[in-house]
A and B are shown apart, each in its own frame.
Chain A
């Protein structure tokens, strides 16, 4: 052994380390590859040695080589070996290598599971950290499944360093193993309120990532995030939250309303540009989501736009870029506010930075109007000429087309101009967007009838000059344009000046070099042209010209017949035969032009691109059903392609235009016309046939012809579009002048001095009339087409699997609690088979068992299961029994919720998160819009549900639950009863929880319970008696009031008093007013505008036998002394025949306990606190306490808002914090019936009072 080590160390001296390797590579610049291959050989030798240090060194070098692009997957097993070294140094090297080169298909990964698990539970936090970091890079579905539970345990680790890593890696685990999301979510949510800012930030990060993909599942967290947003000072966290809100607001516009104010405040107050920018972004998102409902946010828009302008004007290019980016979001909904900054944006188009120019281009889309379109496009065309990179130029090209074609060519007043722009764009070399230009040409020519003549002329020129484009045509894709040109010339050939010339151009030999699909169009349209030419030539008496044309066709077409492209070949041979036949007829002097033309008669209508998809499937038609017998599976694969080929064949060879005799053609035509006439959805062009079209009166007045003559139609010539700009300007001026004249006339006619008429200064949008009466044909759609957005989501998106409803998790009764199958897999030590007797016994509890277990397991998974099961079973029995009893007394006659259901509820809610229906809470939170200082109330969901804050003064309770009790008479009664029920249930849950987990305190402490349980020990002991913090306030024959006081964590000077009003009599109670005589120290918070002595209206009425809870906020200054406040409740008692005014006096007792807030504390922090020496001590002894120790602790926790830090046998340390930040630490020891409490606090008076109160609690029992 020793020798080996020695040998290893000596070997190591001669080994290259990473630095040597790097140096070597740098010294071998010429033969780097060769040098590295020798190095790899050395590494292979090193890896064969037993010495782990040598191996680690080798792996370290491999990691470097991996970065240089060498495949090192062959060393995967060695990497695993190094990972499992006990030394941190090597372990880290191993994990780094693994994180760089392991992935899902690395097979050795499955060997790592146990090693990683061991490292995760290592006592050394850095071992755990390194394992987590590594795992985050190579986690696989298997690893995720096997380790999810271990990682979840780490989320409650004592070290924040580990906690934050564990929280963060959960996201990766969710992605790979979506089933883990539901069980892990409560704890993740809890981490949002972790005392360590790093952990909190990690939790926010994870939830933001999750919510970004499936926002709707996280809406219920909005109140919590809202609270974080108003309280956090960490900009990273704030940015994440604000971004998250940006994703949530589109789903819930009410959330947006709530956000506007705090965001606006942040915008005004923050100095961090990054935060400001995100705020602006989210405000924009809010405004977009509100754009329909709320008109009055112009101030916010203005603020955003103004801030963005500042960003854009900044000399920092980054801010400029982001400003433009955000501006483009506003553009969509509030184009007007952006348009006013046109100057700035146009200026950015000239920026030297391409990113900025691209962003500015995006904005242009919304900047154009009829007035400025030509001017803007002209500017862009200049840029096109100047642009160097093809990417930017292509971007410009698409933008020009986008801008012009947007909303059905809304802004184009002169289509001649547009066509010439398109033609100019064809001169771009090497663009990828030939296809785009072509489709625009087709679209315009087809849909804008008035422009056809002009378009055809332009296209003819283009075809004529095709050789200018063909230079590198094959390569650059601009030749697509010729496809459009050929088609337009053919289809609308009646507009051609000189069809013969075009026909000639289309049959040039060079055409054969074009891509096949373009050649096919050439051939087909040559035939159309041929028909037109024949027609014109037959009119003349000279028949030789017509015959020459046929001869031209016959001469040239064989070139295409030889084409390798099937489509071209087929069309060419058909047409060739046809022409030969025609020639024969011509030689017999038969008039044939009319009939040839008939081949191509009829109008083509534009069809919407999605039309086919939108044809509704007729009822009773199953598209997936087999038409024929499904092919037998035994069919061999060889046969299949044959079958496909055979099927396809006839499709291709179907003769379309030839060899159909004239009669048949005529018949078909007739039939088609008939069909069109009968089809109400067929859009008929008013003068429907082409022939009529030529002499449509509408076309005459178009100045096309004149311009046509004045402009040289040379493709490579001067940009002609400029001339149109000038012409257009002149035209507009003329129009304006005419208008003025008219106006003057009118004025003269009227003569009544109506004051000044608005002078036509800058012309408005409406003043500009298009040059042509353009009839833009709409695209055809099938009947019954449904207007739907086809959102094509990627089916492989890993986030799809994470679209899991999480609300139910924390929801009360009945929906979908964590099922047995959803538990995280837990490694168990041994699984002893149960005895049959026991088995039978357990059956009863079996249903609830797993749920209970799943929560428990998280905490004490390694506990002996058997014992556990037995105990919990017993406990459950007892509980069930009790529960039933209680259900009866609490709910009285109206317990319409089945016992089993609530039983289940209390099982499910065991995770320490709050337990109320969040959806309705959210509704409530959103609808009431309490002032920000109250949000704390809202966030603790249970509270928000139970009672509305008095300021909100809304009687309408959220009753979104579908399963409302139906036995109430009035609406009010209904809702209040409903509430009452919930509240009772909640109470029960509280008590249930108490029984189950003794250290869990009341519902206010979302995060607290978990930690205390984590650190303390959980034993299954006998259940606690039910406890309630509510104590009697006052009571008479009509009404009973009980109350509880809670501190407000958010505001050190506020406490919230929850009062439950119970109607004891059988009359109706209404107009309840709650008033308190303020003291100097404590004041009841009243709504703005009410006097200091006014009472507060209780926001509900009480039908007989009903109780409900209301909440009142008090401000207190000093919290070190308890005090009492006198108050009065006045109310009207309404019987069937009479109503009386009654009043009830009470005394509100603010104990010092009520200023304490349950706050979790870790043992190390606790120890530090005690060591700090700032705390002053005090102690108290309780005699004759006759209860189990855990009951005692639970009581302290529950009644006095403490949490257990650590418990060792009969000794426990506890912690709490006052609303003003005083730390209170207790050390509770028990021996026999004596309990001694040593306490420390930084405020001795407060401590004294708290101890007195604790003493009193125990003296009472």
Chain B
């Protein structure tokens, strides 16, 4: 099971947080800070696994993270997940973001955190891995975006029709 997925930048500013277990907002912020603290002091070229923080997890949990340019992608998982598998999953996630945003950068995540959530929802559901095939994920995300767009168009024509000229 995945307990939490966090994305934050090199300064610890959260860009996405998804907890699959309930914490209060304060605890969530603490977890993010603690995780950032643990992860950020590690060199590049060291392994991507980290044995837990105090707040999140415990002995059965691991932090598995990847660092891309200005962003850290951190998954907190228990022992039922394969470590290397999760690393691959992070890669798939980032590649999917890259496809969906066309050359993703931190700004995309800053301004479209809802979209990132929607993409993530197609990969991980309730802490369990739902889909690992990037094409399948993109197909579903695109289909939903298309639906959204068609609704927006409806909306626009509707309101234009009634708009006093």
Contacts and interface: CB of A to CB of B under 8 A. Distances in A.
A326 to B, nearest CB: 11
Given A164-B131, A274-B82, A355-B50, A89 B17 contact: no
B131 A89 contact: no
Contact of A236 (B16, B87, B132): B132
A239 B82 contact: yes
Interface in B6-41: 14, 16-18, 20, 22, 24-26, 28-29
A1010 B155 CA distance: 42
Nearest to B30: A69
A172 B2 CA distance: 13
Contacts of B46: 317, 352-356
Contacts of B125: 132-133, 136, 165, 168-169
Contacts of A169: 125-126
Given A2-B162, A92-B144, A168 B128 contact: yes
Contacts of B159: 5-6, 9
A318 B87 contact: yes
B85 A239 contact: yes
Nearest to B50: A355
Interface string A238-258: 010001000000000000000
A649 B33 CA distance: 47
Nearest to A136: B126
Contacts of A358: 51
Contact of A355 (B47, B129, B152): B47
Contact of B151 (A60, A89, A130): A89
A860 B73 CA distance: 45
Given A165-B130, A171-B126, A205-B128, A321 B163 contact: no
A53 B151 CA distance: 12
A1067 to B, nearest CB: 58
B114 A60 contact: yes
Contacts of B118: 92, 96
A681 interface: no
Contacts of B85: 235-236, 239, 274
Nearest to B15: A67
Given A171-B126, A202-B130, A353-B46, A68 B84 contact: no
B143 to A, nearest CB: 7
Contacts of A66: 25
B113 A64 contact: yes
A19 interface: yes
A1144 to B, nearest CB: 56
B130 A164 contact: yes
A198 interface: yes
A352 B162 contact: no
A22 interface: yes
B45 interface: yes
A1180 to B, nearest CB: 41
Contacts of A2: 162
A63 B25 contact: no
Contacts of A208: 80
Contacts of B84: 273-274, 277, 318, 322
Contacts of B163: 6, 9
A104 B164 CA distance: 47
Interface residues of B, number: 59
Given A168-B125, A169-B126, A322 B113 contact: no
Contacts of A274: 82-85, 88
Interface string B111-126: 1111001100100011
Interface string A330-374: 000000000000000000000011111010000000000000000
B43 interface: yes
Interface in A79-93: 87-89, 92-93
A278 B113 CA distance: 34
B140 interface: yes
Contacts of B29: 69
Contact of A70 (B25, B49, B130, B151): B25
Contact of A5 (B25, B26, B129, B158): B158
A22 B130 contact: no
A67 B16 contact: yes
B21 to A, nearest CB: 9
A745 B148 CA distance: 96
A161 B140 contact: yes
Contacts of B140: 129, 161
A209 interface: yes
Given A6-B159, A22-B111, A320 B47 contact: yes
Contacts of B20: 137
B128 A352 contact: no
A1209 B112 CA distance: 51
Contacts of B110: 22, 26
Interface of A: 2, 5-6, 9, 18-19, 22-23, 26, 53, 60, 63-64, 66-71, 87-89, 92-93, 96, 100, 103-104, 124, 126, 129-130, 132-133, 136-137, 139, 161, 164-165, 168-169, 171-172, 198, 202, 205-206, 208-209, 212, 235-236, 239, 243, 273-274, 277-278, 317-318, 320-322, 352-356, 358
Interface of B: 1, 14, 16-18, 20, 22, 24-26, 28-29, 42-43, 45-51, 80, 82-85, 87-88, 110-114, 117-118, 121, 125-133, 136, 140, 143-144, 147-148, 151-152, 155, 158-159, 162-164
18 contacts: A2-B162, A23-B111, A53-B155, A60-B114, A67-B16, A67-B113, A69-B25, A70-B25, A89-B151, A96-B114, A96-B121, A168-B128, A171-B128, A205-B128, A205-B129, A274-B83, A278-B82, A358-B51
Given A6-B163, A63-B114, A164-B130, 5 more contacts: A19-B112, A137-B126, A198-B133, A209-B80, A318-B47
In order of increasing CB-CB distance, the 4 nearest A-B pairs are: A136-B126, A274-B84, A317-B47, A103-B22
